[in-house]
Amino acid sequence: MTIFGQVVIGPPGSGKSTYCKAMREFLTALGRKVAVVNLDPGNDILPYECEVDISTLVTLIDVMENLKLGPNGGLIYCMEYLETNCDWLIGKLENFKDCYILFDCPGQVELYTHHKSVRNIVHKLQEKDFRFAAVHLVDSHYCRDPSKFISVLLTSLSTMVQIELPHVNVLSKIDIIEQFGKLDFNLDYYTEVLDLKFILDELQDDPVTRKFKKLNKALISVIEDYSLVSFSPLNVQDKESMLTLVKKIDSANGYVFGGKHEEGNLSEMLSYAAGADFEYFKNSKSLIADKIAGEADVFDCFVCEVGSGPGSLTRSVLHAGARHVAAVEIDRRFVPALEMLADCSEGKMKVYNEDIMKFNIPAAFPNVEGVAWKKDYLPSIRLVGNLPFNVSIPLLLQWLQAISHRTGPFTFGRVPMSLVFQKEVADNIVAEPGHPNCSRLSVMTHHLCEVKRTYRLPRTVFVPEPKSNSQR
């Protein structure tokens, strides 16, 4: 029997125990049975009633007194002791097989960035069919200081690589962030981890950090190269904020696909897992995704879809009569849902769990004939997708270069692209010479393509609702 849960981690003071208390109350209100496990041997004042407590096995005070260790060394010893006696933990959890488990972990950062005990404990539980998402809490006040925010990003990235779990990063205490002063950028900049060169500019204005310019630039380059870190803002007192986070975590650990929550049809279930996916119109059975698929003219065409997510646009493309769909999705959490959709497509769809920046599109359609660029008709290839902000510009630049050299998907000829961009990116793409938004991207796009903005998508058509609008 699969047991789902969250491994709640983060530095001291980030609000892990408060989060576990609030999450337990929230999930209980949703009808789930929840068990909380305290894995912090130094925390003897808990704001919740826990079902399993590591202090019945080992305590930090006893270790420090008996082994003459300090707090950090003692905590590492406790985790190593728990790893050695992991059967004790597994035995305790046997009594809660019908529960959703919340693990409240210690706040020592090195336990998650480079020490192996916590990771090994999680792996042993996974062997017993536990399915977890790591929920990494970070105090939102670190957004106030550019150098501290860079440190937070590096810590989050190191933790994601080390723990080896589906990962949800959270900016906690977002309701009191304004008490620390006005942010240098809007909140979206910090949650989506947008272009970090602006933070680099802020660091260079500081006389203390200015001398570390090359180091800061190198650190930012590492973060952007991995392109893994983003944050979900959280106010535990706000039910909407909690619900948005629960949906993201349920998608990460697979509960949305295999949990014992409310029954629903496949499309409802996938819509629940959608992330930044398209929502059903409230007063219509059609999808906004149907409009995109219709405008893309995919009938009887071979379609490469970028960032398929749980498959809302994919379904619309199939319904619009596409001959075959290559669904490219880098996030493996969405692959099971996409495979289910592929199984129902009668061979018209194949899922590729790959990075679109490295994906060989021509290899996905080996039997498609190209059309000379000078012909007055188009090849039967289409590129469609709802592009994440951090991928949209690099991918478009790569495709523009491919157009120039007639390589990649454009070996087939003048392949049409129907893409959804964040509004700010779309403004740059369509900007004419002389317009304030005109940039290198604008010039390249207008030189190599026929550009048309079809329509604007309000934020209300996405689930969860983003802070900014999108445009096609």
Q: Using alpha carbons only, give the angle 199, 217, 164 rounded to the nearest 5 degrees.
A: 90
Distance CA 41, CA 63 (A): 10
Contacts of 167 (CB under 8 A, 6+ apart): 133, 134, 136, 159, 160, 228, 252
Query: Annotated binding residue at 175?
Result: no
Length of the chain: 472
Query: Annotated binding residue at 339?
Result: no
Distance CA 36, CA 38 (A): 7
- Give the residue ranges of DSSP H helices in 128-212: 146-163, 187-192, 197-205
Hey, is 351 helix, strand or coil?
Answer: strand
Query: Annotated binding residue at 367?
Result: no
| Greatest pairwise CA separation for the chain in angstroms | 83
Query: Annotated binding residue at 386?
Result: yes
DSSP strand pairing (167-172 vs 232-233):
parallel
* Residue 138 DSSP label: E
Contacts of 170 (CB under 8 A, 6+ apart): 10, 19, 135, 136, 137, 138, 231, 232, 233, 234, 245
In the structure encoding, which two tokens stand for residue 166, read together? Answer: 């589906």
For residue 123, give Cα distances in angstroms to 83, 129, 339, 468: 10, 10, 25, 38
Q: Is 95 exposed, middle or buried (0-12, 13-18, 19+ CB in 10 A)?
A: exposed
Distance CA 304, CA 325 (A): 6
Distance CA 299, CA 194 (A): 36
Which residues contribute to the annotated binding site? Answer: 307, 329, 355, 386
Which residues contribute to the annotated binding site for S-adenosyl-L-methionine? Answer: 307, 329, 355, 386
